[in-house]
Amino acid sequence: MKENKPVNNSPMSVRIPIIIAFTLVIGMLVGANFFGGQSRMNNVAKGIAKYREVLSLVETNYVDSVSTDSLVEFSIKKMLEKLDPHTSYFSTEDVAAARSQLESGFDGIGIEFNVFNDTVYVVNAMVGGPSDAVGIKSGDRLIKADGVSLIGQKVNSSLIFSKLRGPRGSEVNLEIVRNGESKVRTFTVTRDRIPSYSINAGFMLDSQTGYIKVDRFTESTYDEFKKALTSLKSQGLKRLVLDLRGNPGGYKDRAEKMVDELLSDDRLIVYTDGKGTKFDSQTFTRQEGIFEKGAVIVLVDENSASASEIVAGALQDNDRALIVGRRSFGKGLVQMPITLHDGSELRLTISRYYTPSGRSIQKPYALGKEEDYEKDYEQRIKSGEFFSSDSIKFNEKLKYKTVAGRTVYGGGGITPDVFVARDTTYYSKYLTELFSKNVIREYALNYANNNLKTLDKLSFKDFSKQFVVTDVMMADLQKLATQAKIKYSAKDYERSANYIRGQVKALVARNIWQRKTNRTLNNEYYQVLMSFDETVQKALQNFEKAEKLARGEMVETLTHSGKQ
């Protein structure tokens, strides 16, 4: 048998791992010096020496060819798994996408789209945007972008974004089929800056009660919030519902500034505590806010996280707002973004958030046991916490006091003052499939386009009172569902019918009034849904408590009986 000999590597193949390892050594040594003393530097140096030795041996002697870059990426990610659940690494490809979620805009063609039956439909062409300027309309089907097909099972949001977004000033050639036509129209669209917004709604629920829906905390959130709040004050705002449900967080300073508009005096908003004192901080209110007096209710749920929890915790601990809903997510670890030499990014946990009373926002976790951490949602379901306040367990060792002396509890997340159970009465497999295949949204878009002349004549007040989703409309929606290969279930349909009707009416309103008003807010959509929203209805029923808090009076809440 012929003896297998090591393959001779080129000088460059030998240098690559050494160069990479050397870069890692420098970076990590600097990091060690930055975060600790000489002993830590020595430990890191020993670890890097071993890593460099293994990497070089693999590169020079391993039986098959390997990608050193992929090994380095993999090893970094596996290393970080031994830390907390939120320290993370982003490759150069992922960095831009991650950052875009928090930016106030992006470069693109200015449309909102819907994918139905493997086809991309234009839901809305932003008025004055690049697509609107060349004549693209709601209901148009996108067939191709720069020769690449946008029809078929392989079409997904990633592909669509990669074709429609691009550098400002660049062009994209689109092939479109208009509703009711068979011929293909061709448009050349020049990409431009498209603003994105984080405040989804801002309107008056009644003559004195304002409602603001905040989706996330981005670059522009604070400015958007001030604009919405100022507008509501001019309409007679006396009390406010601030909706943070489903808000995953974002920029900490935007959240702090939002609190400053609602909280008076020199009050503590949040503080952080890390290793040593390098990353410790305290943030206080500093300026005269737009709405420092008047009742405030904040809505949260299990998907309200991070910056959302800073807002809710600050207003609760300062007895400024009544918190309504369910216990928030529990993300209270602070990450510092560190750009690495190749443009990739390390988001390293450097401290923890604490509410003014001293509660840690972060829910418990065990190092290296990310799977258990991610199962917290399932555990809340199993324990019944989403459905009954009696199932919420309070840790008596983590008892804290608000400024006025109310009892609140730590242990992760912000526990509401008034609990609202999750409503699952309308859930069904049929409804899930309608949403997953975008049937309800597509039906509402088609209905709005086909009845545009009639609907355009109505005021929203008249639409809200007069428009009814009829049985005929529901039958048409079922036909559309069948076309999307959704199996009809009479039992499921009956369970979900009222909810479907509400969604159809809300989406029709959104399609009509966004076009008519050229607003960025989805006010009409949320106004239609208000009557179905149990959390909002519960908030309105509890404004008496919120008003007492605003006057500095004690109130009975979920965690405070008033007898303690």
Question: What gap in Å lies between CA 433 and CA 474, rounded to an integer?
Answer: 16
pLDDT given for residue 70 in this prediction: 86
Q: Categorize the per-residue pLDDT at 378 as very low, low, confident or very high, splitting at 50, 70 and 90.
A: confident
The fold adopted by the segment(s) 199-338+352-416+542-550 is 2-enoyl-CoA Hydratase; Chain A, domain 1 (3.90.226)
Tell me: the pLDDT tens digits for 447-457?
999 999 999 99
Residues with Cβ within 8 Å of residue 103, at least 6 apart in sequence:
196, 218, 219
Catalytic residue chosen out of the listed positions 138, 196, 306, 328: 306
Tell me: the pLDDT tens digits for 130-143?
998 888 988 889 99
Domain 105-195, CATH: 2.30.42.10
When the pLDDT of each residue in the chain is averaged and rounded to a whole number, the result is: 88
- Give which of 297, 244, 542 is closest to 413, Cα–Cα: 244
Question: What gap in Å lies between CA 222 and CA 199, rounded to an integer?
Answer: 9
Query: CA separation (Å) from 177 to 130, 188, 326?
Result: 18, 14, 46
Q: Residue 190: which region, alpha, beta or left (left: phi > 0; alpha: psi -120 to 50)?
A: beta
Q: For 206-210, 341-345, 525-529, which range has the lowest pLDDT when averaged over its residues?
A: 341-345
Q: Is the pLDDT of residue 416 over 60?
A: yes
pLDDT given for residue 393 in this prediction: 86
Q: Is the pLDDT of residue 483 over 70?
A: yes
Catalytic residue chosen out of the listed positions 331, 437, 505, 538: 331
Tokens 């003052």, residue located: 417
Q: Is the pLDDT of residue 36 over 70?
A: no
Q: Categorize the per-residue pLDDT at 4 as very low, low, confident or very high, splitting at 50, 70 and 90.
A: very low
Cα of 65 vs its chain's centroid, Å: 41
Question: What gap in Å lies between CA 7 and CA 3, rounded to an integer?
Answer: 12
pLDDT given for residue 38 in this prediction: 60
296, two tokens: 């405030």
- Give which of 184, 187, 182 is closest to 125, Cα–Cα: 187
Per-residue burial over 526-544, b = 16 or more CB atoms within 10 Å of its CB, e = otherwise: bbbbbebbebbebbbebbe
Q: State phi, psi for 483 to the nearest 5 degrees.
A: -60, -30
Catalytic residue chosen out of the listed positions 215, 317, 417, 492: 317
CA dihedral 117, 120, 126, 128 (to 10 degrees): -140
Q: Is the pLDDT of residue 154 over 50?
A: yes
Question: What gap in Å lies between CA 202 and CA 224, rounded to an integer?
Answer: 10
Query: CA separation (Å) from 480 to 61, 446, 474, 492?
Result: 60, 11, 10, 16
H-type helices in 323-423, by residue range? 370-374, 376-383
SS3 state of residue 332: coil
Tell me: the pLDDT tens digits for 230-265?
999 999 999 999 999 999 999 999 999 999 999 998
| 301-303-309 Cα angle (round to 5) | 75
369, two tokens: 């046991």
pLDDT given for residue 288 in this prediction: 95
Question: What gap in Å lies between CA 524 and CA 506, rounded to an integer?
Answer: 7
Is 64 an annotated catalytic residue? no
CB 126 within 8 A of CB 133: no
Tell me: the pLDDT tens digits for 46-104?
888 888 888 888 888 888 888 888 888 888 888 888 888 889 888 887 877 677 666 66
Is 317 an annotated catalytic residue? yes
pLDDT given for residue 473 in this prediction: 98
Tokens 């905040």, residue located: 214
Q: Is the pLDDT of residue 27 over 60?
A: no
Sorted by where each begins, the domain ranges of the chain are 12-80, 105-195, 199-338+352-416+542-550, 429-532
Q: Categorize the per-residue pLDDT at 41 as very low, low, confident or very high, splitting at 50, 70 and 90.
A: low
Is 306 an annotated catalytic residue? yes
Average pLDDT in the 497-516 region? 93
Question: What gap in Å lies between CA 395 and CA 380, rounded to an integer?
Answer: 16
Q: Is the pLDDT of residue 12 over 70?
A: no
